[in-house]
Structure 1
């Protein structure tokens, strides 16, 4: 049972460290993009060491603050034996879990501070953030080129889609256009023969003409 609890604690701590590292990479990636794209700077890994260290230390401080809050809640819950009124209304039976949460937060904070003090670890983090920034830039460039410089020979589906478009033109658009032209021609012949009164396009009829609404 003790081994299982230790394994669970290791998993939770590892997850916390992973989330912290991911958040730091995202922050560094955005900073790199701003400095290089908006400000025109050259990439210098050493330049981002202070920012990476500060980000990890800030997350460590958050973990320590969470541990302190949990410790306060644990002390308050120790003498409470009545039913809980809500999710964060802890009671004596919650003391063990609260102590475990406190230790986990402190362990995450400890590991984050160790990483913040390790320049080699920080360089790996910055390199990952740089790769993520380059990947985002490449993706945006590729999307822009596909939109603005699209060519049939670069589109693998062009031939198949062209066949479908031509079929739609032949089977749908052209018959519809022919029907419209036949209808317009028939109306013109009838007007010229006097069988159908001419209607002014603006909606008003000639004097003495029959209002089509009267035929309904």
Structure 2
């Protein structure tokens, strides 16, 4: 892999992490903050828009770099600041422009690939669950250790039970559903293998 391809891959990886974080936050806000059920279609739409927005940012950066390069061409005096480019900077600016454009192109391709979007959502959802799970474990250790010392124990019991129903049981159901799907896929592969033998 050449330096240009490596730079694009690195830019895509950074954008991917940013998208995952935005999707994770969106899941948390919608399901916990707004008390909405998890909706895969809503998350697919949000994820695609997020990736396209990141692609637009990269395209804007490419266009801005292009303008800087055009202005720098033929200037041979000393520069006066960070973005006061000169002719000697045009080669580097051209390389950066191509890299920004390459990242934008790859992000647009990702946004149009349902499998990539679903994988991004799944990773974001796992991260969201990890946040919720860690928070619950931390709270359960504190609250579960000495309920007799907590004057709000009975008052907060309903909230804890609701969190159990909305979070823990939903995760368990999703886990069971994934296991059933995996078993079905394995059974289909096995059946295909038997028929082909």
Q: TM-score scaled to structure 2, two decimals?
A: 0.71
Q: Does 1:79 align with 2:61?
A: no
1:29 corresponds in structure 2 to 24
Map of 1:94-109 to 2, 5 A cutoff? 94-109=89-104
Which of the pair has the greater relative contact order for Cα pairs under 8 Å at 6+ separation? Answer: 2
Aligned to 1:117, which of 112, 121, 124? 112
* TM superposition outliers: structure 1 runs of 4+ over 6 Å: none
Q: Hey, what's the Cα distance between the residues in 1 that align with 2:13 and 2:65?
A: 21
Aligned to 2:143, which of 144, 148, 158? 148
Map of 1:25-64 to 2, 5 A cutoff? 25-64=20-59
Gaps of at least 5 residues in structure 2 are 147-197
Conserved 8 A contact 1:45-1:127 = no
1:160 corresponds in structure 2 to none
Q: Hey, what's the Cα distance between the residues in 1 that align with 2:98 and 2:9?
A: 13
Gaps of at least 5 residues in structure 1 are 1-5, 152-216
Q: CA deviation at 1:11?
A: 1.7
1:17 corresponds in structure 2 to 12
Q: Hey, what's the Cα distance between the residues in 2 that align with 1:35 and 1:98?
A: 41
Aligned to 1:88, which of 83, 95, 106? 83
Structure (1 or 2) with the larger CA radius of gyration: 1
Map of 1:122-137 to 2, 5 A cutoff? 122-137=117-132
Q: Hey, what's the Cα distance between the residues in 2 that align with 1:33 and 1:87?
A: 39
Q: Hey, what's the Cα distance between the residues in 2 that align with 1:70 and 1:34?
A: 36
Aligned to 1:8, which of 3, 6, 14? 3
Q: Report the RMSD for the aligned CA atoms in angstroms.
A: 1.3
Deviations 1:116-169 (A, max 9, x none): 011111000000010001000000001111112226xxxxxxxxxxxxxxxxxx
SS at structure 2 position matched to 1:149: helix
SS at structure 1 position matched to 2:32: helix
Q: Hey, what's the Cα distance between the residues in 1 that align with 2:89 and 2:48?
A: 35
Q: CA deviation at 1:40?
A: 3.0
